[in-house]
Amino acid sequence: MPIQRPLLESIRLENGALQNLDQHRARMASSLTFLGLPHEIAWSNSWTPIPISFQQGLWKFRLLYANDDFEVQIEPYCIRPVKSLQLVLADHIDYPVKYADRQAIQALFQNRTYGDGILLVKNGLLTDTSYANVALFDGKKWVTPTLPLLAGTRRAGLIKAGKIFPKNIPATALSNYQKIQLFNAMMDFGEGPVIDVENIGPFGR
């Protein structure tokens, strides 16, 4: 039977090796604890080894789970080009754990009236795009929103490494920055799209 309202981890599978597993396991444990569920699966390796047909190249390893029930899906992955974004209000979006169900965010994406993607704004502050955390360059350093809708595993590693720095970034302060970098578990910093701030359009619906 399908898992009822599963949580999701999208893990980079590169040449047969799952990347950044410590951060993914930590988030799985945190998510299950937040929901008041046991989190034995957070340390399970029972969904490996990787089949031979997926041991070359780059793949998305989707782990859907709920307590001790899980399902694995492995898909091809390529980085989608994004050259422009539209600001979108997301005050009604609450995403404390990574559910597989992303209908509310997808609806905002599909209803945009400008650009290749959306940059979500909650309570006046920048958060994420529909599928990636972000960092903005101020001419000296990269800063990332202190309160993303979802604190990604790649983001946690970049902060720990001192490559990006958390900061509250009001949408009204966009002109203080030069460009915005998109990244997530599948796209390392520098791999994903980089967008000039001048290509971030005004608020849509």
Residues of the chain with pLDDT under 50: 1
| Model pLDDT, residue 168 | 98
CATH 3.20.10.10 intervals, the chain: 85-201
Domain with CATH 3.30.470.10 in the chain: 7-76
Tokens of 179: 């460009």
CATH class for the region spanning 7-76: alpha beta
pLDDT value of position 44: 59
CATH 3.20.10.10 fits 85-201, yes or no: yes
Q: What tens digit of pLDDT does each residue of 28-52 get?
A: 888 888 888 776 665 556 667 888 9
Q: Residue 45 has what pLDDT?
A: 61
The amino acid at 199: N
User: Rounded to 10 degrees, what is the CA torsion of 173, 174, 176, 177?
Assistant: 150
Euclidean distance between CA atoms 107 and 37, whole angstroms: 29
**Would you state the pLDDT for residue 107?**
94
What is the structure's pLDDT at 49? 80
pLDDT value of residue 1: 41
The whole-number pLDDT of residue 204 equals 62
Q: Look up residue 76 and give its amino acid.
A: P
**What pTM, to 2 d.p., does this model score?**
0.89
What is the predicted pLDDT for the residue at 66?
81
67-70 own/partner pairs: CB under 8 Å, 24+ apart: 67/32, 67/37, 67/38, 67/39, 67/41, 68/38, 68/40, 68/41, 69/3, 70/3, 70/41, 70/44
The encoded tokens of residue 176 equal 């203080």
Q: Provide the pLDDT for residue 43.
A: 58
Predicted pLDDT at 42:
53
What's residue 36's pLDDT?
85
